[in-house]
Structure formats: structure tokens, C-alpha cells
A and B are shown apart, each in its own frame.
Chain A
């Protein structure tokens, strides 16, 4: 199954670019949901002999990342009557260029890190770093609260991608890390759904800019 891993990782990387390039929030939500589900499937490819606990984790991740979170986000959009456009602070072309640059740098940097023999030919490490970078880009260049949550989720996907290397050796660390990060994501979204939209009748973080020096 190992030979299928890299193509799947490339799909994951492509989803990063979808998240950076599409102009409608719904498109970004779908890309992040697809990436989340893909990560769950990837876990089974990296560790074919994964035990019941690992399968449970994968199931929970696919369920939360692929269905629960996107549903919550779409609900939040409808509730607060959010406009469907991403409205980034930088143009989509610049976003894509920065994304490509980050992916290139991630590839170069990951070659300087010594990998275990069985991981040497995999794209896992550069894909993880590139996804973290994409998450950062979305977090810092998008104004809407929903987009920032999506940025956080992409970043978290990147961290989990690296965690896949450790799923067998240190299941506790990876599982707890992934689940607690997910819980945080849901927690932050609950704030948007119940408070930001109520307070400002919009979920743009442009409204959250009263506090400054």
C-alpha cells in the first residue's frame, strides 16, 4: 500500500492550493474537509497493521473533520449571513505564489533532516511542513473569523501529518494531541457561532479590531 501513499500526499498538497486559491468560503470548507478525511485514510496507509485504537482514532477524525466541522461552519455562515467571498488581504495569485514558495522551502528543509530508513522516500515530512505553512498563510491573510478557523484546521492537519510517523510508536501522544487540537477547533468555532455572530451580526474579524495601540 506504500506506493499509494505519495500520490495521496500529493492530493493533500493540492488541496492546500485549493484552500489558498478559491474565492468562495464554501470551496475552502470543502477543501479542508477533504484534506481532513484524506489524513484519516493516510493513517491506514502508513500503518497497515494499525490496531483497533488507531482505527477508532481514524474514524473519529474522519467524522469530525469531514462532517461535523464543515457542517458547523456552514451553519455558522448561514446563521450570521456571512458573504460567500473569501475577501483575502492579499490577492489569490500572491497567496498561491507564497504557498508554492513555502512548499518548495519545505521540500528543501526536509532533506536536511535525517529520516529513518523506512521514511526516507516518503513525502510525509515536506507535506506536513508545507501544510503547516499553508495554515499560517490562511490564518494571517484572511480577515473572516471562519477563514481563520479554517487556517487553524489546515495547520492542525499539517501537525497531524507529521504525527503519522509516530502513530505506531507513540500512539498516546498522537491521539491525545490530535483529539485535543480538534476539540480546540470546535471550541473556537462555538465562539463564532454563538457569540461573534450575535455580537456583530457578522463573522468578519474586521469587527474584531477595536483593541489596538
Chain B
């Protein structure tokens, strides 16, 4: 079954690539994504059999953490893929062959990351997501999108090269300790107490910086505003909600090893610092941001900071962080897709030219506003619950500085992001920016509504299977003292 989960989207990618019809090709995406969702759903439903999803001599295995991320990614990809036919219908001037095939390729590689139970295999899958997503960022084929693709590839590849060096360090630590030549996660975790702490800590730092570049933590975030700003909305959504989640999973796996080894307090302190630093940098650049997609990119930097901060704080905050992974992914995707609709109707994404979105594109405008409220942690949406959990965990653990700074940055982001979002949705559309032929349709607004409904649902009620999966996944991070 593990092989099939990866092979199915790969086969769909091939099928999409060879299909000659430009009109039918985009429809394969929601069809394939829904089949994959049903497949994964049925696996997750059979809770007791889920751990039996394995292969390649233990290199592929679906543990609770993998289950959580895989289930979430499949749902997210399926929801985003619903908007692809609507998006591509507005771009009939260019071939969608590479676009559709590479989206499936990204899904295959994201699935492989969640199933990888081997450091080397996971690295390969992460590198493959970078390569597969580069042509999607260049879809508009403008000088700006070329610049964004260039930065994404170059900075991403440097990060991935550092992650490889970190993997080598870890492998060498195993050899040096005479613990065999394996990089399977269960064995690394088991052997971690016997590894040299100098190698282990150096490996952690390199792997953290490497995969941290991929998720866009400050100061390795510089590619993110450019790539997300220039990529089509659906690509930005999948990058911000999906690919970053994969890199976050990679960091979690590495932290699990570090945590099982020597005293991991240095790793936790490092993560608290980087988490808060990312949030603060994002808050600075979000204030008075004129480009709505870049605004969302900085919001992504902020929320990646929150995820890492939660893991660094530990305890209940780990649960909060894992829940926030889902909440942020859903909300961020809704924001990117609604921003794309707004951009389409104005022919611009700059605040000077985009005003009165609630009048011109009422559904997308309202969903953009709701998405802003959700992502900034307003009740009753899901992100409120997860951010509150992290803050509460920090306070109850006596980490008052971290808690105070966390709340302070959240407040300043609310103000900074709010100013831009309100100026976009309120008022009258400017006469100098005439309406484009774009009209809101079910295909372009429906997926956003679904994404926001899920984000709202998770704020009101967490289904018990998800709750137990979250608890199970969080339990694997208990601090060894």
C-alpha cells in the first residue's frame, strides 16, 4: 500500500503529461486528488492497520506523525486541486501540460516525505519537491516570475545541500559510535543516546538550517515573498500549506533524534529563538506591505515561526503546534486562492490599485477578510485555538518571556496585516483600475469556502480521530530527562 500511495500520483502525472487535451487535463487533478484522499482516508480509518503501511525494508513507514501530515496534505491538495480547472480556464493562452503534471509530481513527493522513515530517502523526496515546483512558479513566464524561480531554486538548493551535509554528519556519528550504517529513523532514535553530542548537535544545526530554508524561517526566508508573490495562487497555496508542512515534518524527525540523544535543551532554546525571530521579521515586513501576495508570504514566515516556537516550548505546545500546522495550512490556502481571485479581477495585487474588493468580488473579498481574521488568531477559527494552546503551554511552563513576546508579535501582526487587508476589501473600487473580465464562479470560490469551513470547524470542534492522532503524534516528542 505504501508504494501505491506514491505510485498513484506519479502515474497520474504521467497520464496527465501524455493526455493531449488541454481542456480535459486540468480535470484530472481534482479527480486524482480525490481518489488519493479516499485511499488515504481508508488507511487512516483502519487505525490498527495503519502502521502496517510500510515498504523498502522499513524505509517507508506510516507512524502517527506521518499519518497526521499525510492525511492533512491529501485533504489540502484535494481542496486546492478543485480550483485548478477554474484557474487554468483563464489561462488558455499557454499549455497546462507541465503545470498539471508537476502538481501531481509534487503530491507524489509530498506523500513520499510523509512515508519516508529514512533520513536519506526523505532528503531525496524533499529535493524532488523543490525541482518539481520550480516550473510552476515560472508558469506566468514573466521577468518577475523568472527572478522568483531563480531565487527559489538557488536558495532552496543551498538549503537542501546543507541538509545533506547534516545527514552526512548524522551518518558519521553512527559510524563513529560503531552503531552500524543505518539512517532509519527508528534506529537513529534508538541509537541516539550513544552518539557523540558534538556530531549530533552539529547535525541538528545543519539539518535545521537546511530544512528551515525550505520552510522559509527567517533569516533564510528571502526566497519566499518572491516565490509566493509571483506564483499562481493555487501554487502559492500548495507551497505554503503543503511543501512547507513536509519540511516541517523533516525538522520534527530530526528533532526527535536529537531529543532521544543527549540533552536537547540547546535545540529547544534554538527553536524558541528562531521561531520568535521569524515572527518578528515577518511582522516588520508585513506592516505597510503593498503587495497582497507578498503579505501572505510574510504571514507564512510568521506562522512557520509559530510552528517552530511551539516545538521549542515543548509539552502541550507541541500539540498546539501540530494542530496549528493544519489550521495554518487550511487558512493560508484559502487566503492565497482568494488573493488570486482579487488579483484577477483588478489585474493587480498592489494595494494602491486594489480597493473595495467586497464590492467588486464579494465572495472572494469576504473570504479574504475572514481568512485574515482566522490567520491572525481571532476566535472562533482554528488558528485561535492552536495559538492559544501554545501561549498557554508557554505560560504554564514558566516561559513568560517567550509567551509575552509571542503575544506581542501576534498583536503587531494583527495591526500590520489588518491595515493592508482592510484597505483591500473596504471602500469603493478605484475608477483607474477598471474591472477585468474575471467573474466569480463556483470553481474559483467553492474551494475557498470549503477550506474556510474546515478552518472554522477546527476552531469549534476537533473530531475525535484527529484528536487522538494529534495526541499520539505529540506524545513522540516527550522530553527525555
Contacts and interface: CB of A to CB of B under 8 A. Distances in A.
Contacts of A184: 127, 130-131, 153, 157, 160
Interface string B80-104: 0000000000000000000000000
A159 B146 contact: no
7 contacts: A152-B157, A152-B158, A159-B164, A165-B168, A177-B164, A185-B157, A211-B148
B144 A177 contact: no
A208 B151 contact: yes
Contacts of A181: 157, 160-161, 164
B168 A188 contact: no
B183 interface: yes
Contacts of A195: 138, 146
B181 A170 contact: yes
Interface in B206-230: 225-226, 229-230
Contact of B154 (A114, A148, A172): A148
Contacts of B134: 187
B292 to A, nearest CB: 13
A213 B225 contact: yes
Given A165-B172, A210-B147, A132 B225 contact: no
Interface string B152-174: 01100110111011011101100
B183 A196 contact: no
Contacts of B119: 173
A14 interface: no
Contact of A113 (B198, B229, B289): B198
A172 B168 CA distance: 12
B168 A173 contact: yes
Interface residues of A, dominant DSSP: helix
B199 interface: yes
A145 B167 contact: no
Contacts of B131: 183-184, 187
Interface string A147-159: 0110010011011
A196 B150 CA distance: 9
Contact of A159 (B130, B138, B154, B161): B161
A155 B160 CA distance: 11
B168 A163 contact: yes
Q: Which of A132, A145, A156, A191 has the most CB of B within 10 A?
A: A191
A172 B165 contact: no
Contacts of A132: 165
B175 A188 contact: no
A183 B164 CA distance: 14
Interface residues of A, number: 47
A136 to B, nearest CB: 8
A116 interface: yes
A149 to B, nearest CB: 8
A112 interface: yes
A166 interface: yes
Contact of B147 (A149, A173, A211): A211
A139 B160 CA distance: 15
A211 B226 contact: yes
Given A113-B199, A188-B153, A170 B147 contact: no
Interface of B: 119-120, 123-124, 127, 130-131, 134, 138, 143-144, 146-151, 153-154, 157-158, 160-162, 164-165, 167-169, 171-172, 175-176, 181, 183, 196, 198-199, 202, 225-226, 229-230, 285, 289, 294
B167 to A, nearest CB: 7
A176 B59 CA distance: 15
Given A166-B175, A200-B143, A155 B161 contact: yes
Given A184-B160, A211-B147, A213-B285, 6 more contacts: A136-B158, A139-B154, A148-B154, A152-B158, A170-B120, A177-B167
Interface string A117-159: 0000000000010001000100100000100110010011011
B225 A115 contact: no
A174 B404 CA distance: 45
B150 A205 contact: yes
B124 A145 contact: no
Contacts of B148: 211
Contact of B225 (A116, A158, A211): A211
B229 A211 contact: yes
Contacts of A174: 168
Nearest to A116: B176
A166 B160 CA distance: 18
A116 B181 CA distance: 14
Contacts of B196: 113-114
A191 B153 contact: yes
B289 to A, nearest CB: 7
Given A155-B161, A159-B164, A172-B120, A213 B294 contact: yes
A115 B199 CA distance: 10
A148 B168 CA distance: 24
A209 B150 CA distance: 11
A213 B229 CA distance: 11
Given A195-B146, A210-B144, A211-B144, A170 B171 contact: yes
Contacts of A205: 150
A114 B146 contact: no
Q: Which of B130, B154, B169, B285 has the most CB of A within 10 A?
A: B154
B357 to A, nearest CB: 22
A162 interface: yes
Contacts of B150: 145, 188, 191, 196, 205, 208
B278 to A, nearest CB: 16
A93 interface: no
Nearest to B227: A211
B154 A152 contact: yes
Contacts of B157: 152, 181, 184-185, 188
A133 to B, nearest CB: 12
A172 to B, nearest CB: 7
B181 to A, nearest CB: 4
A116 B164 CA distance: 20
